[in-house]
């Protein structure tokens, strides 16, 4: 079984209440269910969300033996050297995910501390970005 950690950063627990033009209308639980459906019995998914940078770092450290990480670091994408450094240690497949078209929004969102330590990025397709990350893993594992 391929073990996958699905990590979500700050404010993603509030999906459904955030601006729909950027983030779509589904809740995080609904997105997780879509991912499980796409994963079928090929991937074992563990879901973790936190609003705290250190929690996300600790979770990555505790998961170094997993096969893959799918991460939406949310606002920490643009600020976190600590998440960059934790991901750098992880030797499995690393997938960056964003609901919005993060590279085409405000200038401060173009600063990205995780892109260079991830293998691939899916963004701009709302919940479809997460589903595409699962499809990618099914084809590459």
The answer to the question of residue 100 lying near ligand DQA (CB under 6 A) is yes
Residue 79 CB, nearest distance to ligand DQA (Å)?
10
- Which residues in the 1-40 window bind ligand DQA by CB under 6 A? 11
Give CA–CA dist 76/37, Å, rounded.
28
Kindly state whether residue 77 participates in binding ligand DQA, applying the rule CB under 6 A: yes
Alpha-carbon gap, residue 29 to 35, rounded angstroms: 10
Out of 49, 50, 63, 72, which residue is the one contacting ligand DQA (CB under 6 A)? 72
What's the CA gap between 104 and 123, in Å, rounded? 10
- CA 55 to centroid of chain Cα atoms: 15
Q: Is 23 a catalytic residue?
A: yes
Measured from the CB of residue 67, what is the shortest distance to ligand DQA in angstroms? Answer: 23
Supply the minimum distance, in Å, between the C-beta of residue 125 and ligand DQA.
10
Reduce the DSSP state of residue 24 to 3 states and report it. coil
Both structure tokens of 48: 């973790």
Q: Look at the block and give the residue holding tokens 């609901």.
A: 99
Give the binding site for ligand DQA (CB under 6 A).
Answer: 11, 72, 74-75, 77, 98-100, 102, 109
Catalytic residues: 23, 98
């Amino acid at each position: 079984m391929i073990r996958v950690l699905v990590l979500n950063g700050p404010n993603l627990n509030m999906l459904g209440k955030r601006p729909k033009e950027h983030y779509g209308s589904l809740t995080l639980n609904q997105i997780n269910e879509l991912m499980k459906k796409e994963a079928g019995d090929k991937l074992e998914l563990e879901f973790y969300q936190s609003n705290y940078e250190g929690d996300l770092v600790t979770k990555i450290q505790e998961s170094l033996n997993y096969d893959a990480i799918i991460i939406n670091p949310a606002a920490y994408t643009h600020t976190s050297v600590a998440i960059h450094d934790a991901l750098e240690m992880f030797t499995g497949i690393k997938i960056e995910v964003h609901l919005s078209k993060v590279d085409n929004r405000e200038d401060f969102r173009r600063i990205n501390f995780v892109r260079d330590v991830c293998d691939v990025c899916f963004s701009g397709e709302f919940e479809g970005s997460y589903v595409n990350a699962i499809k990618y893993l099914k084809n590459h594992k």
